[in-house]
Structure 1
């Protein structure tokens, strides 16, 4: 015989239950915990109306009676309702069924919905249904490496991570776009004055070479320093840019070496040595000989460097206040640009170009800052 089947979640099953099969259905309902009146044993009470069926209807639970609104007093008495009709109506309520077509009163149509919510379900029932459902997994934030936000933001010299977008990548990069003393600049109209020479105290030192993803950088052992304007600055590292970031009266050079120093109070001073095409430069060649095979690897060199050999013979310079030329573009950096360039061979330029064809920040506005030039 056909059985009424309640489907899993979100499945709708339509079944027809005819009154000759009601005893089997009621037995199934009792197994499911439904509370229904007892039917006659033969299940054919539709025509007979035995006393047992009338008694079952009369003793229906109070909660079910409360669901049925009391009939309004009518002008004339209505004929008593068939107990089997009442039973079918209550069965329909229990199963969420719809009434059969008037032409066939013995058919009850049942639509079982295991998880669907009725359109006008009571608020309490709807809330309980939502509470029973498993919580939906939270969406994970994806972060794109090209996006100007978060720890994945990666600055570069072109494309989405280029200099025009540095200031928006991270809050700590804001000075790259809002600063008023940014570097590099085109050095023009310097005021010629008697500047104290920079006192270089460089000596042969151990060093390590690293390709940090933006340039080739040389980390130098302690013991090298400069003294300028009454302050002593210790050398931390030097690195290269191609072409030169600084310009002098509009002229740009093939490369530049930036020697970064810091004093005891954390203030920075950078000496820029301009590199122009000519003969080979021995310090540059020593660095190239120790280039790491992978970016991010720091290679300790066996020999030592004497950075006096990187400086020009003539030590006159330009000086002004500026910033770092890479993020976070911190300002308050003392700059000293050597006026005389140092030669570097075409082969040495080509080696660096294979790693970094261009890693120079564009020229920034001088913003009316004072530039001094030694006589």
Structure 2
């Protein structure tokens, strides 16, 4: 079965530290199986194009994975190279990256090969999604700008076990460090210094008083969240601290941000953004409904337009102007686990969904 074999081949290739071999495999497969224009860029993204038209639809995935558990690494092959373990049982494929998201990459590759597209069709497999969208950002900087994209992200918690829904929005994540500075002094003469911990706790109180924004999408409410997650400061029990810093994990929503900068209005307090993964929202209802129609035709269940709690490469694409939805093998509790797996039936419905949308979008104008 082509989808199973292709998924097994992709999953077996280690790609948590170095995605080169996996990217080379995808590039070689596309050159062998299609007549598309295939490129691999300087960071390892693989992009192929076929068809013509005024509007471009991209099937987007990533071939990097998170670090595997020991049980997910097979013994070295006859050439001495380590492979990831892949096991098929009870209608599922087990192994690191089966769900997130080499299975969906395989489904997208086959749909790309088999579809007779309505416009220009692109398939893209990026590097570095698990470490902040490195590949997607590079591709965008180099001019990657499809009009529409279906991102086949397989991360959990936006579909149920028996249905593959279409996510039209997701949260982002902004990670910040807030640093308070004071003046050191001996604790016996504390008034001679400025206590950075006191300034930091005042900033913590200000963060706690902020109201995270929320937005209603597809009948659901995406709620932002602010959480102080780490704090560090001081040098000795008898010294007034000159520095104290804490981190804030912020889950962002499309269109609005919490006003963390208010904490930096306090004397001696600085705010630094360490990571900012953008949220996503599809503003093109016709596109979302067309993808939903394709997903409905590919399964017996009744999929819905939903939202997703986690950031993906769709956030970077959406920020750059691409209308995005997410539709992939999302099953509760699978991605990033030590027994990660994906349903073969779910991969088949993803492949058929991708083929259908490629042949239906863009509609005749």
Q: TM-score w.r.t. structure 1 length?
A: 0.22
- Which has the higher Rg, Structure 1 or Structure 2? 1
Task: Give the structure with the higher percent helix.
Answer: 2
Q: TM-score w.r.t. structure 2 length?
A: 0.22
